[in-house]
Chains A and B, each alone.
Chain A
């Protein structure tokens, strides 16, 4: 039982390049989330999904796209990377049926855009 995994762990991009971050969970959770974490600003929600085939915008969605083709996977895409997207990206998942609905986080992806 690996929990929530993210690939890659590190990535360096040049401005204008594109990439996809992959999040996978093996807990059969319905909800999945993508956050970014910047110094002094806490975790901010980018996009989320309440189930396979569904996505919705969070607090800071501009410049990102997501897809949830399979229940266990949630992909975050950057079509044209910008230096402002340099950040640590965390994926999380939670169960719709759990009372506390605790979110479980992946280890993070450190992205630098030059």
Chain B
């Protein structure tokens, strides 16, 4: 099975940098995803890591350490529109579909 932990809530100030952590325990690992979900909307894909290290995409970066079962999402130059829930999801290796197991999400509030 899979177990994913991430903080429930975080608050940061516009223009600042925030790091959202995700730890996971899994019987098989085949990639970690980060999704963004604004209130009342569908989740949208942000990033994907399957190898150790940092993946950078504009203001967003995601880091993975497979040996530690740890990932973080780094958001730079925060904007008000970044207020959303951020979902960490792990893809396993069992089953014929590449199923994702999601964490409960971290609600980020960006203050002016």
* Co-complex (A, B): yes
- Using a CB–CB cutoff of 8 Å, the interface residues on chain A facing chain B are 4, 31, 33, 40-45, 48-50, 56, 58-59, 90, 94, 100-108
Contact A105 B43 (CB under 8 A): yes
Report if A90-B100 is in contact (Cβ < 8 Å); known contacts: A56-B95, A102-B33: no
| Contact with B97, one of A42, A44, A48, A59 (Cβ below 8 angstroms) | A48
Closest chain A residue to B103 by CB distance? A42
A sample of 26 cross-chain residue pairs with beta-carbon separation below 8 angstroms, ordered by A number, consists of A33-B97, A40-B8, A42-B4, A42-B104, A43-B102, A45-B100, A48-B97, A49-B97, A50-B96, A50-B97, A56-B95, A56-B96, A90-B42, A90-B43, A100-B31, A100-B48, A102-B45, A102-B48, A103-B45, A104-B45, A105-B42, A106-B42, A107-B41, A107-B42, A108-B41, A108-B42
Taking CB atoms and an 8 Å cut-off, the chain B residues in 70-87 that contact chain A are 87
Count A/B pairs, Cβ under 8 Å: 56
Closest chain A residue to B45 by CB distance? A102
Apart from A31-B97, A42-B4, A43-B87, 9 more pairs, CB < 8 Å: A43-B43, A43-B102, A48-B99, A50-B97, A56-B96, A56-B97, A58-B99, A101-B31, A107-B42
The answer for the CA separation of A100 and B33 in the assembled complex, in Å, is 9
Contacting residues, chain B, for A103 (C-beta < 8 A)? 33, 45, 100
Shortest Cβ gap from A39 to chain B (Å): 9
Contacting residues, chain B, for A4 (C-beta < 8 A)? 42
Contacting residues, chain A, for B45 (C-beta < 8 A)? 102-104
Shortest Cβ gap from A8 to chain B (Å): 15
Contacting residues, chain A, for B89 (C-beta < 8 A)? 43
Answer yes or no: B44 CB below 8 A from chain A CBs. yes
